[in-house]
């Protein structure tokens, strides 16, 4: 019953076009750049993600945290902002990056199993020459 209610709540939030804003936050480091990221840590939070957001500050993003590593695939349904997804290994190493178009159902997947996906404004990684193989640091990543 609880999972049915949770699924209904996710559907209701999506149908209403209300972005989620009350998520736990953490700080990540991308070299000399500090990122303030919201954590999407459970099914409902990951399902909604950055849907319905009209803007996001430059050094902010959302880190999707999964219980176990897997090939993670993302799409942009009901997402208004152009984003880049960084698929990230347990140690913080970026496996691959994918630019994603707003309001688009095309899937963008990790090249290998990962537990983390970091979404930032599109162009954020490119402007800083951050590519696959770059290592992010922060309290969520294992050493």
CATH code at 77?
2.60.120.1140
pLDDT at 88: 98
| DSSP 8-state symbol, 19 | P
Residue 84 lies in a domain: yes
Split into its structural domains, the chain has a count of 1
Residue 136 lies in a domain: no
CA distance 4 to 8: 6
Residue 85 lies in a domain: yes
Residue 110 lies in a domain: yes
Residue 13 lies in a domain: yes
pLDDT at 19: 72
Does pTM top 0.85 for this prediction? Answer: yes
Residue 87 or residue 21, greater confidence: 87
Residue 78 lies in a domain: yes
Condensed to tens digits (0 to 9), the pLDDT of residues 103-130 reads: 999 999 999 999 999 999 999 999 999 9
Condensed to tens digits (0 to 9), the pLDDT of residues 62-74 reads: 999 999 999 999 9
pLDDT at 18: 74
Note down the domain range covering 17. Answer: 2-127
Using CA atoms, how far residue 67 sits from 26, 41, 52, 139, in Å, is 18, 8, 25, 16
Is it the case that residue 134 has pLDDT exceeding 70?
yes
Using CA atoms, how far residue 89 sits from 24, 53, 85, 114, 120, in Å, is 21, 26, 13, 5, 17
CA distance 41 to 4: 19
Helix segments in 1-83, DSSP class H: 2-16, 43-48
């Amino acid at each position: 019953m609880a999972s049915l209610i949770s699924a209904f709540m996710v559907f209701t939030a999506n149908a209403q076009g209300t972005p989620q804003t009350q998520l736990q936050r953490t700080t990540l480091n991308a070299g000399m750049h500090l990122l303030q990221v919201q954590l999407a840590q459970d099914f409902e939070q990951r399902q909604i993600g950055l849907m319905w957001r009209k803007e996001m500050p430059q050094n902010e993003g959302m880190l999707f945290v999964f219980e176990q590593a897997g090939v993670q695939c993302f799409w942009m349904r009901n997402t208004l902002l152009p984003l880049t997804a960084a698929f990230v290994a347990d140690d913080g190493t970026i496996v691959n990056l994918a630019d994603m178009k707003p309001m688009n159902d095309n899937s963008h997947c990790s090249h290998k199993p990962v537990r983390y996906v970091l979404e930032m404004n599109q162009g954020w990684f490119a402007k800083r020459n951050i590519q696959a193989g770059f290592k992010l640091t922060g309290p969520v990543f294992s050493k």
